[in-house]
A and B are shown apart, each in its own frame.
Chain A
Amino acid sequence: MSNAGSAPIKIAGLTGRSLVVVLLVLATTAALPLVLSNYQLELATEMLIFGVLAMSIDILSGFAGRTSLGHGAIFGVSGYVVVYASAQAGFSPAAAILLGVIAATAVAIIFALLAVRTSGVYFLLLTLALGMIVWGICLRWTQVTGGENGLRGDVRPAFLAGHRAFYWAVLAATTVVSYAMWRFVRSPFGLTLLGIRDSESRMKSLGYNVPLHLFIGFAVSGFFAGISGALYALFNNFVSPSTVALEQSVEGVLMMIAGGVGTLFGGFVGAAAIIALENVVSAYTERWQTVLGLTFIVIMIFAPDGIIGALRAILPRGGLARERYKD
């Protein structure tokens, strides 16, 4: 049912109907600054940034069947490099972002070299351990990383200092990146990842180099996580070991699961739901983490396919359902 009801004419890989949906969503999100307060706008910015992180994890998890607990570290490395390059080494923000994304991709490549031949729980544990190494380095290499205190600086260029300008910039970046990710998972190469998820042995016997494909998939996923990490560094003007910690990876994974594994755009839904929940609930009770935990349990019981998955079950086919590949 992968292409049920597709229209003959496609623009940039989108059917007419999904193009309308995409444009509507974009117009609505672009208009948000006109109605939201500054604080709400910052939350929206954060949702977009973490949405990209969740999507990058979904590339591996939902499409290649490998859930990574090391993406928080990749995300954080980019943040560290961006803040260090601009605040300490005096690079321009653009150069700093570029360096940050390169560094994140490099870290992802190292992770990938070590992890691609494993799967299941071993992949999970290996990426977790690699992430912990990065965290340990950030914590102990005080001269460069500032240790526990982290790094600070005015990373954001002046023309992005305003809440609205920054939101629009992040929205634009997010749109481009999301489109790129969407094209990536739908490309012939992306389809081989799906094949690996569904049956590694079949892909092998068909002559595909499974580890190489996973390696490229991991590196690409790390590249996108690096972009979101760089945006987060611009957003906070600050980075500390908690940005690369295991909690960050877990949060990214939870966002992806809450949105729906393998839905890609579920990342945004999950990020929005979790960030909104964190901020609303914590205003009422200091037990907000308990509430968050209970919410996850409820999602897992009643919507195991995530929020997008649950919506799909309710909504008629054609709209949301087309994003999902399943045989």
Chain B
Amino acid sequence: MDRRQFLKSSTAAVAAAGTGAVPWRRARAQAAPIKVGLLTPLTGVVASGGKEMVEGVQFYLESVNHQMAGRKVELLIEDDASNPDTALQKARRLVEQGNCHMLIGDLLANTGLAVANYVKGTGTPYFIPIIAADDLTQRHRIKNVIRVAGYSASAFTHPFGDWCLKQGYKKIATVSQDYTFGHEQCGGLAQVFTEGGGQIVQQFWHPLNTADFSPYLGQLADLKVDAIFAMETGADATRFIQQYASFGLKGKTPLLGAMNATDQSVIRTLGEECDGIIAAAHFAEGSDNPATQKFVREYEARYHKIPSLYGFSMYSGIMWVAQALEKIGGKVEDRDAFIDAVLKTELVGSPLGKTVKLDAYGNPIYDVQIRKTVKRADGKYWNVPITSYPGVSQFWKYDPETYMKQPPYSRTFQGIKKA
């Protein structure tokens, strides 16, 4: 081959490669993936819940072959380290460097609130299936922060307070972790319970990560109440339930829990001592609803554990987003249309086995299950519904406008009606 011939053929080869590359690039642009940024605590105090959040999202994406509305989904996972400053930094990274079309996740309210404040400026859609801070769907709504498949903290304890009245309980004491999530859950129960004639005898607030509950349990034992409501999460919940039993209170005074106190992430490691605790929630893994059973069976086959609130919520949350994208033909770039579609979408086919829609304030309306921890045939404990409150609003039976005029629940405001 002489030089001239070589030049000719190599030029032709390069040109051919070039023309080949152009349509290829265009084809790629058309099917550019939908980028989902997942923020989750993989390290820090709530790391175990964070890992289950990832599982929930991946479990759904696997079931749809990583496709939404015909577009490939690219999942970018970042560790928020259970720290709001880190969460903020990682959110910036996902939005500004990762060019994510949306963010989803975060577990602790402070991380979620930090990210919510950030996306308020960027307009990035941010979905919060776990963040329960009441005011994100009440007094301080942000249009692009949507609680798909999530719940507001006091939404389930309102009906729970009503249920307590129906049991004939007159006096209740509460014990709770001292932070907003706890204040809000206790407030919901205290307000409905006292307005119905009940009495909140005493409220104990303890710091997160309390190793020894005996000072509280000793006082609780002396109070002679009809029931004790415990608002605990994670390791605190495990310790509280164990020490409640070893203090001899179990069997004497009924123990009521916030939904996270008897979540699978807690009772998975417990035995006899968690038997018979009552809690109110939208999801009960022991429900005989076929949709719930199918989800639990498949999740267990895949991850060898019964799904927790975290797995369930993230699975349903991303499913909600997928169904909304389906409606707008996958055009995730059109943010306004996308947010609008999510707000209007009614979630079907979720593990709840019932259609779920958002209220006018962006909070889902659920049937609230009053559930009890019972032993399953194989010896593991799970939550089985014993009764249900259909279509519960986050405002319970109050008028939303009047309700939002009262201050948010806090350590100093629990909505307690003076007798």
Interface residues of A (CB under 8 A from B): 37-40, 42, 46, 139-140, 142-143, 147-150, 152-154, 161, 236-238, 240, 242-243, 247, 279, 282-283, 286, 288-289
Contact = CB atoms under 8 A, between A and B. Distances in A.
A133 to B, nearest CB: 14
Interface of B: 42-43, 78-79, 83-85, 88-90, 92-93, 96-97, 108-110, 113-114, 117-118, 121, 133, 178-180, 183, 207-208, 410-412
Contacts of A236: 85, 88, 114
Contact of A149 (B113, B208, B412): B113
Given A238-B117, A282-B78, A39 B92 contact: yes
Contacts of B108: 148
Contact of A152 (B113, B179, B183): B113
B84 A240 contact: yes
A149 B412 CA distance: 16
A279 B85 contact: no
21 contacts: A38-B96, A39-B96, A142-B180, A147-B179, A148-B108, A148-B110, A149-B180, A152-B113, A152-B117, A237-B117, A238-B84, A238-B88, A240-B110, A240-B114, A242-B84, A243-B85, A247-B83, A279-B93, A282-B78, A286-B42, A288-B79
Contacts of B180: 142, 147-149
Contacts of A242: 83-85, 110
A150 B110 CA distance: 7
A286 B78 CA distance: 8
Nearest to B182: A148
Contacts of A238: 84, 88, 113-114, 117-118
A153 B208 CA distance: 26
A307 B183 CA distance: 47
Contact of B113 (A40, A142, A150, A288): A150
A281 to B, nearest CB: 11
A216 B109 CA distance: 40
B217 to A, nearest CB: 22
Contacts, number: 78
Closest 3 pairs between A and B when the two form their complex, measured CB to CB: A39-B96, A148-B179, A39-B97
Contact of B412 (A40, A143, A247, A286): A143
Nearest to B96: A39
A142 B410 contact: yes
B85 A39 contact: no
B204 to A, nearest CB: 14
B82 to A, nearest CB: 9
Nearest to B51: A286
B97 A37 contact: yes
A200 B228 CA distance: 60
A313 to B, nearest CB: 33
Nearest to B78: A282
Given A149-B133, A149-B179, A238-B114, A42 B92 contact: yes
B85 A148 contact: no
A243 to B, nearest CB: 6
Contact of A140 (B42, B83, B178, B412): B178
Nearest to B84: A240
Interface core residue of B84, B88, B109, B133 (most chain A CB under 10 Å): B84
B89 A279 contact: yes
A289 B43 contact: yes
A321 to B, nearest CB: 35
B60 to A, nearest CB: 21
Nearest to A46: B89
B84 A150 contact: yes
Contacts of B42: 286
Contacts of B90: 282
Nearest to A243: B85
B96 A286 contact: no
Contact of B410 (A39, A143, A279, A286): A143
Contacts of B84: 150, 238, 240, 242
Contacts of B117: 152-153, 237-238
Contact of B411 (A38, A142, A279): A142
Given A143-B410, A148-B108, A154-B121, 14 more contacts: A39-B96, A42-B96, A139-B207, A142-B180, A148-B208, A149-B113, A236-B114, A237-B117, A238-B113, A238-B117, A242-B84, A243-B85, A286-B42, A288-B79
Contacts of A46: 89
Nearest to B140: A152
Contacts of B85: 236, 240, 242-243
Contact of A148 (B43, B96, B109): B109
B77 to A, nearest CB: 9
Given A37-B97, A242-B83, A149 B110 contact: yes
Contacts of A289: 43
A37 B79 contact: no
A153 B93 CA distance: 21
- In this complex, which of A42, A150, A238, A243 has the most chain B Cβ atoms within 10 angstroms of its Cβ? A238
Contacts of B110: 148-150, 240, 242
Nearest to B411: A142
Interface centre among B42, B108, B412 (most CB of A within 10 A): B42
A186 B97 CA distance: 41
A241 B372 CA distance: 36
Contact of A286 (B79, B92, B133): B79
Contacts of A152: 113-114, 117
B238 to A, nearest CB: 20
A197 B403 CA distance: 61
A282 B41 CA distance: 12
A37 B179 contact: no
A150 B111 CA distance: 10
B176 to A, nearest CB: 13
Most buried by A among B110, B178, B207, B208: B110
Contacts of A240: 84-85, 110, 114
A282 B207 CA distance: 30
Contacts of B89: 46, 279
Nearest to A40: B97
A221 B42 CA distance: 35
Nearest to B114: A238
A106 B403 CA distance: 41
Contacts of A149: 109-110, 113, 133, 179-180
A143 B208 CA distance: 18
Contacts of A279: 89, 93
B181 to A, nearest CB: 8
